[in-house]
Amino acid sequence: MVRSGLAGAGDFRLLLGLAGWAPGQLAGEVASGVWYCAAASRGVIMPPEGPDAAHPDAMRRRVLSLIGRQHRGHQRSSR
């Protein structure tokens, strides 16, 4: 996509990790409140340029602001 001009290198974010669940486990965890779900826009995941825009803590703060004050205690540093 970058070579063809359809997107720029800054239009992508690579996140690495591994998670696995048994059948139905994730749905059960979401239902019991272990996971917080939030709608996200491009601006949340790929924010405008800035000194901390792409830092994981900045993204965490943006997402927590979407899901509400009751989850503010879950803010932590990834450093």
Q: Is residue 16, in this structure, part of any structural domain at all? A: no
Q: Is residue 14, in this structure, part of any structural domain at all? A: no
pLDDT single digits (tens) 25-68: 999 998 998 887 777 777 777 776 766 666 767 777 777 777 77
pLDDT at residue number 78: 45
Of 20, 15, 67, the C-alpha closest to 40 is 67
Q: Is residue 10, in this structure, part of any structural domain at all? A: no
Q: Is residue 54, in this structure, part of any structural domain at all? A: yes
Q: How many domains does the chain have?
A: 1
Residues 6 or more apart whose Cβ sits within 8 Å of residue 54: 13, 47
Instruction: Answer yes or no: is pLDDT of 22 > 90.
Output: yes
* 52 φ, ψ (degrees, to nearest 5): -120, 10
Look up the domain containing 39 and give its range. Answer: 30-69
Q: Is residue 63, in this structure, part of any structural domain at all? A: yes
Helical segments of 1-79, H only: 25-31, 42-45, 56-67
Q: Is residue 64 a contact partner of residue 37, using CB atoms and an 8 Å limit?
A: no
Q: Is residue 47, in this structure, part of any structural domain at all? A: yes
